Amino acid sequence: MDSKKIRKAIARFFARLGLNVCSLIIKIIPARYIYVFANGIGTLGFAAIRKQKTIALESLAVAFGKEKTREEIERIAKDCFIFMAKSAVELIFLMDRPELIKKRVETAGRENLDNALSRGNGVILVSAHFGNFPLMMAKLALMGYKVAGIMRPMRDSRVEQLFLKKRNRFNIRTIYSQPRNVCVNQTIEALRNNELVFIPIDQNFGTGGVFVDFFGRKAATATGPVVLAQRTKAALLPCFIIRQKDDLHKIIFEPALNLEPGKDFQETTVINIQRLTNIIESYINKYPAEWGWIHRRWKSQMQSK
């Protein structure tokens, strides 16, 4: 085993150990202190995890460098770490308490969701790694909707199994993004059964997607939602979960996005992925700390012709 693999194995071991310790602490401390605990974890992470902090600050500078001060950018980055810690703690605490999820998560624009479902071709919930999105899927499942989510498996298989069990408990269907053909077939099956399929399109997609504008810079973006909508006639419904000041949550369902046609399949795809990306960008502008700035969104670059 080379040194890089050894370092990764050590890092995953300590991450898994930290998760187990945090899970134990969350089980024994009074419920009213879980957000105090999460705030401490997030603050510590911002101070100690230098690589992710650097990525967050660099990403925020790309998005807001011309309009926000260095102090404002650092505040957003720190809040991002705290919000991620809160989300992790909530998943450990709330996923075992479905009655609390019902109380702590409200919805707005549910009529948009039900109208989209009434078409009978399934609904693609287009979103991002924004807010506590796994909690959104849990809430929808508790409301009686059939929910599936396309996800990349976590690098640590044992941690992945832990969260898979939690999703299975809510009857949330996990569709892994690889192998690609299996992912596509399972997604089409779910849509033909008139189910909800959650697809985030905010992470770097390498050479397999299309490049669209995101905060003024070209970003490689997955095309799945629009390609699937063209194939299946499923509704495209942007949705986001937003943390409130009291650590309650609100899910917002936007009106379904009707496809704007281009001259061919490819142009139609690019036009509408750009429109969806614009909606995601608008939510990040409103609630910047809700998005995962520790991801290198603009890592892939367009090849010059």
The residue extents of the domains of the chain are 3-290
User: What pLDDT score was predicted for residue 99?
Assistant: 95
Task: Tell me the C-alpha distance between 236 and 214, whole Å.
Answer: 19
In CATH, what is the architecture of 3-290? 3-Layer(aba) Sandwich (3.40)
Contact 267, 251 (CB under 8 A): no
Between CA 267 and CA 225 the distance in angstroms is: 14
Do residues 302 and 211 make contact, with C-beta atoms less than 8 angstroms apart? yes
The gap from C-alpha 126 to its chain's centroid, in whole angstroms, comes to 10
pTM over 0.85: yes
Mean pLDDT of the chain: 92
Binning pLDDT at 50, 70 and 90, where does residue 305 land? very low
Find the mean pLDDT for residues 184-192: 97
Q: Is the pLDDT of residue 127 over 90?
A: yes
Over residues 82-112, the pLDDT tens digits come to 999 999 999 989 988 999 999 999 999 999 9
* Residue range 4-26: mean pLDDT, rounded: 67
The reported pLDDT for the residue numbered 5 is 63
At 224-265, the pLDDT tens digits run: 999 999 999 999 999 999 999 899 999 999 999 999 999 999
Tell me what the mean pLDDT of segment 267-273 comes to. 97
Kindly report, residue by residue over 192-202, the tens digit of the pLDDT.
999 999 999 99
Position 52 scores a pLDDT of 94
